[in-house]
A and B are shown apart, each in its own frame.
Chain A
Amino acid sequence: MSASNDDENPPRGELSREEREAFRKRASDLGSRLDKVKAETREKAGPEPDERARGAAMGQAMKISIELVVGIAVGGFIGKVLDDQFGTAPWFLIVFLMLGFAAGLANIVRTARRMQAEAEPLQRSAKAVPDDDDD
């Protein structure tokens, strides 16, 4: 296949020069249009990370709150059983309600500490964002 052949009648399945030019132009057009659309969607999606963070926070809140309820319920149950067993009502109930409350709190503190450890690197990287407030 010679180079002179290239201009006039390209063999089947190959592109002539004009077609190639047109193709390149179309591709770059498409690229710039895609960039524009991407930028627009990024702008529109502004509040989305916030929404997602709120969803995650709700999940964490649900995860934590049940711990306290269960702690008190189990503490109360253990105390009640012990009281029935030894006829010492209501002393074991009182003691174990408090222990159960403390146990629930201990679990909550543990979970919160873990969440904080997970969030810390994120917070540190967030600080690097330049402050663009006009104050």
Chain B
Amino acid sequence: MAETTEVAGHAAEAHGPMHQFEIKRLVPLEFMGYDITFTNASLMMILALVFISLFLYFAMSRRALVPGRIQSTAEMLYEYVADMVRGSVGKEGMKYFPWIFTIFIFILTLNMFGMVPGSFTVTSHIIVTFALAAMVWITVTLIGFAKHGLGYLKLFIPSGVPWWLMPVIVPIEIISYLIRPISHSVRLFANMMAGHTMLKVFAGFVVGLGSLGGIASLGGIAPIAFLIAFTGLEFLVAFLQALIFTVLTCIYLNDALHMHH
């Protein structure tokens, strides 16, 4: 009896709910003193890139007038993102469509790959989502300055504010601009990590209750039912978070292009 608990404890240690987020070094590499080891995260990203390229290539290679199943999926994706860009940025936003489409499909594919059992969810690491959000933030800021010059700084001075409130309002506006990439990245990372941890915790309940033996094993049914429902919800979250990340990118881009405050 004591032995089984010890084994179970050991198994829980090796495959705890956070085990799935572990970075594994696959090919140790070094470049000019920097550690650029090829990890399982790099592998998943490359797999996602290969998948996206192959999918879009084969979907559009026939270019049929009446689209087949794969082709209409690709066309739907295009229409979906194009509508989003036209809706929230306007016509001139279509200049940046390739960039936004890339962000959307990359995050969506990584999120969906993360739903494959035993795989690795790259977007559950804050450094990855922060790199993406920082890229968006820097690009949008550069676009803003390129378009409006120093006038872009007027973003921090809302119109219709009395002058004596300026010392308070301007720092607030600056901070609210600075926290954009952080809230942008934390939102995606936190949702992905929390969801996947919950899945693992409840899967642990199934094993724990199921191994009680006898009639008590039936107690494992409840967490299984919950797991099934929650997996469906996680697919929704995976899609929704990719969408939210992209929508916010569009909104920030719109702010930089049009600046109506």
Are the C-beta atoms of A104 and B186 separated by less than 8 Å? no
**Contact residues, B115-173 vs A (CB, 8 A):** 168, 171-173
| Total A-B pairs, Cβ < 8 A | 55
Are the C-beta atoms of B191 and A107 separated by less than 8 Å? no
At the interface, yes or no: A66 with Cβ under 8 Å from chain B? yes
Tell me the smallest distance from the CB of B190 to a CB of chain A, in Å. Answer: 7
Question: In whole angstroms, what is the CA distance A16 to B207 when docked?
Answer: 68
Are the C-beta atoms of B244 and A66 separated by less than 8 Å? no
Residue of B nearest to A70 (CB): B183
Question: In whole angstroms, what is the CA distance A69 to B186 when docked?
Answer: 10
**Contact residues, A59-93 vs B (CB, 8 A):** 59, 62-63, 66-67, 69-71, 73-75, 78
Residues of chain B within 8 A (CB-CB) of A96 are 175
User: Given that A62-B191, A63-B244 are contacting pairs, would A71 and B175 also be in contact in the complex, using a CB cutoff of 8 Å?
Assistant: yes
Question: In whole angstroms, what is the CA distance A96 to B191 when docked?
Answer: 27
Interface residues on A, range: 20 to 34
Question: In whole angstroms, what is the CA distance A70 to B181 when docked?
Answer: 10
**Contact residues, A83-122 vs B (CB, 8 A):** 96, 99-100, 102-104, 106-107, 114
Residue of A nearest to B179 (CB): A74
Residue of A nearest to B191 (CB): A62
Residues of chain A within 8 A (CB-CB) of B191 are 62
Are the C-beta atoms of B173 and A106 separated by less than 8 Å? yes
Tell me the smallest distance from the CB of B61 to a CB of chain A, in Å. Answer: 35
Which has the most chain A C-beta neighbours within 10 Å: B171, B180, B251?
B171
Are the C-beta atoms of B182 and A100 separated by less than 8 Å? no
Name A71's contact: one of B171, B179, B240, B251 (CB within 8 Å). Answer: B179
At the interface, yes or no: A10 with Cβ under 8 Å from chain B? no
At the interface, yes or no: A31 with Cβ under 8 Å from chain B? no
Tell me the smallest distance from the CB of B41 to a CB of chain A, in Å. Answer: 23
Q: List 10 A-B contacts (CB under 8 A).
A: A63-B244, A67-B179, A71-B179, A73-B182, A74-B175, A78-B175, A99-B175, A102-B172, A104-B176, A106-B172
- 3 closest pairs, A vs B, by CB? A103-B176, A103-B175, A70-B183
